[in-house]
A and B are shown apart, each in its own frame.
Chain A
Amino acid sequence: MRKLIFTVLLIIFALAVWYGVAAGDFLETLSNGVTICLTCIGVA
């Protein structure tokens, strides 16, 4: 049963990564993180 759960989750998360990268999540993280994080730590 746990093997089944593991396999299903593995497939789901792998698909999520693939879809996310295809949808531009990687670039979103890359480009917008700058604004977010410098704003936060710089208390702007």
Chain B
Amino acid sequence: MNRRIVQLIAFLSTNSFFASIPRASFYQGNLKGVCVPVLNCYACPLAWGSCPIGALQHFVIVRAIPFYLLGVLGLVGVFVGRWPCGWLCPFGWFQEIVYKLKLPKFSAPDWLRHLKFVVLFGVVGFIAWWTWEPWFCKICPAGTLGAGLPWLWWSARGSEYAAGMDFGTWMFGLKIGVLAGLILLMGMMKRPFCRFICPLGALLGLANKVSLLQLNVDIDSCAVAYAKGADYDNCATCGHCSRFCPMDLKVPEQIDSIDCIRCMNCTSYGSPYWSMRFKRVHNWGSGRNRGIEEDMTPVP
């Protein structure tokens, strides 16, 4: 199925409480106890579920182990790894849309990928524990976009739920600044939030190595490599499949990376001859490829 359609369905599935709009309210029912496996702010007026990072910080603050939350994320991870990032996350989708803007494009140093673990353990973990405040939520750009700005509107409409909220503070200015800065980055590089900041992506990515869903590549069957008389090294430097990776990974060397969001773009748009395919291994056994799925005729 087309990934954009799945992203749209996922967005509407988790954010369709349209009754909040006429009432300037938000959903507070039992579904809020369900943590969605993507970054989707609890306070978003349309949201049905909870953000796992917001929930995680809450448990850190109250000094409790979030068994339920970690169990849910763990189950998602062991089955599909970071797949929700590529197919379900509304903020990831937003970044891909913004990237289409006609702005200069840049790459970022690879070491920046480690920054999201600093965010996960440092901000979501330590700082929340130390300050008793969910500091990641306070500046989360997904929260600002999905909740902060709508609540600014709710406040202007005189919503009872927004009573006491002050949008003229330096904190709100900081939230807007962070969001604006990130949107600019999103226009110039691929998924910067997902690659460098998202603590949920960091968590789910850890499961990529052991998840049931794995990607393999049949190097020997790549018609591009065949046409050029290439060996594996040349395949790695061909760069054609890498062009389509929204996480700017080097394909195929990094398909097992914790940053792979399993979007399958490399399997759909890779080799122009459409004969280099990634086999989705469901029974991964030794993890080696099972051979080409189809016999594709090279396109001249």
Contact = CB atoms under 8 A, between A and B. Distances in A.
Contacts of A26: 33, 68
A37 B51 CA distance: 10
A44 B165 contact: yes
Interface residues of B, number: 52
A17 B140 CA distance: 26
Contacts of A38: 43, 151, 161, 165
Nearest to B283: A3
A40 B138 contact: yes
Contacts of A42: 151, 162, 164-167
A24 to B, nearest CB: 9
A15 to B, nearest CB: 7
B169 interface: yes
Interface string A15-32: 111111101011111101
Interface of B is mostly: helix
Contact of A16 (B59, B70, B151): B70
Contact of B166 (A15, A40, A44): A44
B43 A29 contact: no
A23 B212 CA distance: 29
B71 A16 contact: yes
B171 interface: yes
15 contacts: A2-B285, A6-B211, A16-B71, A20-B66, A20-B68, A25-B66, A29-B33, A29-B58, A34-B32, A36-B134, A37-B147, A38-B151, A40-B140, A41-B43, A41-B143
B167 A43 contact: yes
Given A16-B70, A17-B67, A33-B54, A27 B137 contact: no
Contacts of B75: 10, 13-14, 17
B137 A36 contact: yes
10 tightest Cβ-Cβ pairs between the two chains A and B: A20-B68, A16-B71, A20-B67, A13-B74, A42-B165, A30-B33, A17-B71, A25-B68, A37-B43, A37-B42
Interface string B47-62: 0001100110111001
Interface of A: 2-3, 5-6, 9-10, 12-21, 23, 25-30, 32-34, 36-38, 40-44
Interface string B141-182: 001100110010000000001101111010110010000000
A40 B140 CA distance: 10
A33 to B, nearest CB: 5
B126 to A, nearest CB: 18
B268 interface: no
A27 B31 CA distance: 10
A41 to B, nearest CB: 4
Pick the most buried of A14, A19, A20, A44: most chain B CB atoms within 10 A of its CB.
A20
